[in-house]
Structure 1
Amino acid sequence: MGIEYASTVDHPIDEVFAWHTRPGAMRRLVPPWQPMRVVKETESLADGTAILGLPGGLRWIAKHDPAGYHPPNQFVDVLSSDGLMTMPPRVIGWWRHVHKYNEDGPGRTRVLDEVDTTVPGAALRSTFAYRHRQLAEDLAAHRDAAQAGAGQLVVAITGSSGLVGTALSAFLSTGGHRVIRLVRGEPTGDNERRWDPDNPAPDLLSGVDALVHLAGESIAGRFTEAHRRAIRSSRVEPTRRLAEIAAATPGFGAFVSASAIGYYGHDCGEQVLDENSPRGKGFLADVVADWEAATRPAAEAGRRVVLVRTGIIQSAAGGTLKLLRPLFAAGLGGRLGSGRQWLSWIGIDDMLDIYYRAIYDNRLTGPVNAVAPNPVRNAEYTKVLASTLRRPALLPVPSFGPRLLLGKQGATELAEANQRVAPAALEALGHRFRQASVDDVLAHQLGHDPAPGVVKLTL
């Protein structure tokens, strides 16, 4: 039993195979809706071992078979075991996965996954549809960067353990770039440096081409005085100190800082907001404005500064979609209040592409709206989410619901925010979005993508 899944990508076979050999490849291919995480990537496709974490502390061990390693055409992994916590997955019987690559015309590669397993092939279809699309679109993004003259870059990242930071680190690594994680604890290797937000070392960014600054206290939660203080203090002063270090570091390139569409305020009506729209009112608008202003030392020193004003990120692995999915899957979801408020969203993979472009594209500077080109009203979003999960959306959420969880200010500025934001700066550069419609991003994130390849279920 099992599955054969094939598709063709418009990239040379050597590039396709090399992508799979780099750190981050496995993390880019594990579907976000599945209850597993990458514990350890393989050190070699020839004879290494990869480990996936499963619920309850269980482990899935994939051992690579030296006899099946024929670069750049093939590598093989099989299910193995090592200790008590790795035995339960063996109840499925067996798993042998042959990864095949063959030239399919000039600059094109046919990618074929052959899985021999006791798991029904139909249950694997969505996983391989996701994997093949991720591969094709990641390779396309790296090709765009190479054609723009990016070369191999050294990129430092704060907040590298968060939702965006984890994905961005893996994404950049598969492109052949070196990622240096700025961590608050003791570094565990050459690709980590200790970062003290209150007193960063003067040589923190030595040898770095670009910094992606993602660190900051989560804004989710009740807007108590302590929470508001943590949101502000984790952003403004640490950003200013990093900007001063960037300004003083010879050869440093781009300072790319996270920001948010909260800059425009929380109740913007029907107005379409672009990067030139004025600052709004409210706690988050004030914080974002001060957060962005904290990057001035870098800009004044002639460094290119990009402020990534992020919309509502769509990822089944975290954020609002992860919270909403079980509720809607149970048939208990629905619009929030009237459902008329605008939701400016962005898929996690498009978010990575935007940060990537901010790193290498010298034309991008200042504020950049990191949102998809098609915002939707809350009622439409919840309808599409329910439809994707094949559930009804009949139970509107009354306004007092979010206020119980977030408090009055939190509900007003987060759950009930009404922001119709356009990615004008990106569109002016002809930026290509992977998922421009909410239907597409939710289908991809939740495992309901139409299969882009040829599927054959085996007995």
Structure 2
Amino acid sequence: MSIDCSAVVAAPRSEVFAWFARPGAFARLAPPWQPVSLLDEADSLADGRAVLGLPAGLRWVARHEAGEYDPPHRFVDRITTGGPASVPASVVLSWRHIHEFEEVDPAHTRIKDRVQTWVPAAMLRPMFAYRYRQIEADLAAHARAADHGLGAITVAVTGAAGLIGSALTAFLSSGGHTVIRLVRREPRERAERRWDPDNPAGDLLDGVDAVVHLAGAPIAGRFTDEHKKAVAGSRITPTRKLAELCARAGVGVFVSASAIGYYGYDRDDETLTEQSPRGTGFLADVVADWEDAATAASGTTRVVSVRTGIVQSPRGGTLRLLRPLFAAGLGGRIGSGHQWMSWIGIDDLVDIYYRALWDIQLRGPINAVAPHPVRNIEYTHTLGRVLGRPTVIAVPAFGPAVLLGRSGARELATASQRVVPDRLGSAGHEFRDADLESALRHVLGRTAES
């Protein structure tokens, strides 16, 4: 039994094949709704081996077949064993995946996937629909950057293991850039450097062209004094120290994470742009100080603060928490549902960070949100529709306070911020998913193609 899928992407065959061969490609292709994690990426399409983590501690080991390697036309991988944890999958599953690349014309490539397996085709088609969309959008993003003069650069990234960092580093490395992960532990591989947030080494950024700073303690949680201290302390001083080092090292651009919490927790129906005044509350104060700390790099270094909205990915954040509830038919609005939610798809957020690296006109704060914010009740109905479940169980307004405390609930769960990407719109930025339903369908594998 086998399944055949194909799609045409707007890129030369040599570029498409090269993209598959680079580190990060597998991570960019892995559907976020599947309970699979990449433990070890293959170092070669010719004879490399990839190891995937499955539920219950099991492993999927995929070995590339050297005899079938024919660049830029074809490569093949099959499931095999590699330790006791991989035996159940290799015994129960049959899997041989043939990847073929056919030149349609000099600017277009047909990607053909043939999988020999007994896994039902209905379970695999959503995966391939996701993969083809990812490939085409990623290649288009890299082509736009190249058109604006970006060549291969070296980017140092803090917080690389997080939701945003893991997606961004995979995107950058699969696009041909060199990624250096700044970690607080002892480095385990050549692509890592040890970073002391309070006292970064003077040579930390040697050979680095750009820095993306994502590290910080999770904001979600009960807003106790201890939690607030961790949120602020992990952001303000480390950001200032790293920004100062960027200036001394002559780094070209420093892109720092920020948040739409800058605008406060309730601005009613006011449309908020980068020119809007800051709001009130703990998060507004932290974000203002956070962004001020990033300006320590100003001068020789271009500084961009990415004010991020509610990130949509089942791998983390709000959607990771909501998905199982909504899938079980237990989802519903919070309180009246009237509050505004300014959201952003994970891949659109990656594109925005990338644009901040190559667009020399971008400086200062930019709103990293989709063009169309929605009220909580619309978000609720949309997620329920995508998952095919009812959304009739409303959460009382006091409910989130039980977990987050009154202050945490006010600034997180019931916050109302109608934020728009004004500066990105003026720059002509194109979003992969400008509307909520298409964004949710993509990351949850519920597209029309599947």
TM range (shorter): over 0.9
Alignment partners' CA distance in 2, 1:109 and 1:137: 14
SS of the residue aligned with 2:180?
A: strand
Alignment partners' CA distance in 1, 2:398 and 2:275: 34
Alignment partners' CA distance in 1, 2:291 and 2:107: 43
Residue in 2 that maps onto 1:411: 409
Moved more, 54-63 or 187-196: 187-196
State whether residues 92 and 118 of structure 1, in contact with CA within 8 Å, keep that contact through their aligned partners in structure 2.
no
Residue in 1 that maps onto 2:253: 254
SS of the residue aligned with 1:170?
A: helix
Report the alpha carbon displacement of residue 331 of structure 1 after superposing the two structures with TM: 0.2
Report the alpha carbon displacement of residue 399 of structure 1 after superposing the two structures with TM: 1.3
Residue in 2 that maps onto 1:292: 291
Instruction: Summarize the alignment of residues 145-156 of structure 1 with structure 2, pairs less than 5 Å apart.
Output: 145-156=145-156
Report the alpha carbon displacement of residue 303 of structure 1 after superposing the two structures with TM: 1.4
Report the alpha carbon displacement of residue 13 of structure 1 after superposing the two structures with TM: 0.1
Q: Which amino acid aligns with 1:288?
A: V
Report the alpha carbon displacement of residue 91 of structure 1 after superposing the two structures with TM: 4.1
Alignment partners' CA distance in 2, 1:387 and 1:393: 9
Instruction: Summarize the alignment of residues 234-383 of structure 1 with structure 2, pairs less than 5 Å apart.
Output: 234-250=234-250, 252-299=251-298, 301-383=299-381
Residues 187-229 of structure 1 show CA distances to partners (whole Å, capped at 9, x for unaligned) of: 1222111100011111211211110000000001100000000
State whether residues 100 and 111 of structure 2, in contact with CA within 8 Å, keep that contact through their aligned partners in structure 1.
yes
State whether residues 2 and 117 of structure 2, in contact with CA within 8 Å, keep that contact through their aligned partners in structure 1.
yes
Once superposed, which parts of structure 1, at least 4 consecutive aligned residues long, lie more than 3 Å away? Answer: none
Alignment partners' CA distance in 1, 2:359 and 2:237: 27
Normalising by structure 1, what TM-score?
0.97
Match of 2:446 among 427, 444, 448: 448
Report the alpha carbon displacement of residue 90 of structure 1 after superposing the two structures with TM: 2.5
State whether residues 47 and 63 of structure 1, in contact with CA within 8 Å, keep that contact through their aligned partners in structure 2.
yes
Alignment partners' CA distance in 2, 1:208 and 1:82: 37
SS of the residue aligned with 2:221?
A: coil
State whether residues 26 and 41 of structure 1, in contact with CA within 8 Å, keep that contact through their aligned partners in structure 2.
yes
Residue in 2 that maps onto 1:41: 41
Q: Which amino acid aligns with 2:46?
A: A
SS of the residue aligned with 1:3?
A: strand
Residue in 2 that maps onto 1:9: 9
Report the alpha carbon displacement of residue 68 of structure 1 after superposing the two structures with TM: 1.3
Residue 71 of structure 2 corresponds to residue 55 of structure 1? no
Match of 1:402 among 396, 400, 403: 400
Alignment partners' CA distance in 2, 1:449 and 1:86: 31
State whether residues 5 and 112 of structure 1, in contact with CA within 8 Å, keep that contact through their aligned partners in structure 2.
yes
SS of the residue aligned with 2:307?
A: strand
Q: Which amino acid aligns with 2:90?
A: R
Residue in 2 that maps onto 1:457: none
Report the alpha carbon displacement of residue 157 of structure 1 after superposing the two structures with TM: 0.3
State whether residues 181 and 193 of structure 1, in contact with CA within 8 Å, keep that contact through their aligned partners in structure 2.
yes
State whether residues 8 and 110 of structure 2, in contact with CA within 8 Å, keep that contact through their aligned partners in structure 1.
yes
State whether residues 51 and 62 of structure 2, in contact with CA within 8 Å, keep that contact through their aligned partners in structure 1.
yes
Q: Which amino acid aligns with 2:304?
A: V
SS of the residue aligned with 2:256?
A: strand
Report the alpha carbon displacement of residue 161 of structure 1 after superposing the two structures with TM: 0.8
Match of 2:432 among 431, 434, 442: 434
Alignment partners' CA distance in 1, 2:172 and 2:394: 40
Report the alpha carbon displacement of residue 372 of structure 1 after superposing the two structures with TM: 0.3
SS of the residue aligned with 2:105?
A: coil
State whether residues 93 and 117 of structure 2, in contact with CA within 8 Å, keep that contact through their aligned partners in structure 1.
yes
Alignment partners' CA distance in 1, 2:80 and 2:104: 33
Q: Which amino acid aligns with 1:268?
A: R
Report the alpha carbon displacement of residue 362 of structure 1 after superposing the two structures with TM: 0.3
State whether residues 130 and 444 of structure 1, in contact with CA within 8 Å, keep that contact through their aligned partners in structure 2.
yes
Residue in 1 that maps onto 2:170: 170
Q: Which amino acid aligns with 1:350?
A: D
Report the alpha carbon displacement of residue 122 of structure 1 after superposing the two structures with TM: 1.1
Residues 265-315 of structure 1 show CA distances to partners (whole Å, capped at 9, x for unaligned) of: 00011110000000100000000000000122211x331000000000000
State whether residues 75 and 100 of structure 2, in contact with CA within 8 Å, keep that contact through their aligned partners in structure 1.
yes
Compare relative contact order (CA 8 Å, sep 6+) and give the higher one, 1 or 2. Answer: 1
Instruction: Summarize the alignment of residues 40-119 of structure 1 with structure 2, pairs less than 5 Å apart.
Output: 40-119=40-119
Q: Which amino acid aligns with 1:419?
A: Q
SS of the residue aligned with 1:199?
A: coil
State whether residues 49 and 62 of structure 1, in contact with CA within 8 Å, keep that contact through their aligned partners in structure 2.
yes
Alignment partners' CA distance in 2, 1:304 and 1:47: 42
Report the alpha carbon displacement of residue 93 of structure 1 after superposing the two structures with TM: 3.7
Unaligned runs of 5+ in 2: none
Residue 207 of structure 2 corresponds to residue 191 of structure 1? no
| Cα RMSD for the two superposed structures | 0.9
Q: Which amino acid aligns with 2:275?
A: N
Alignment partners' CA distance in 2, 1:381 and 1:364: 30
State whether residues 129 and 450 of structure 1, in contact with CA within 8 Å, keep that contact through their aligned partners in structure 2.
no
Report the alpha carbon displacement of residue 82 of structure 1 after superposing the two structures with TM: 2.0
Q: Which amino acid aligns with 1:372?
A: A
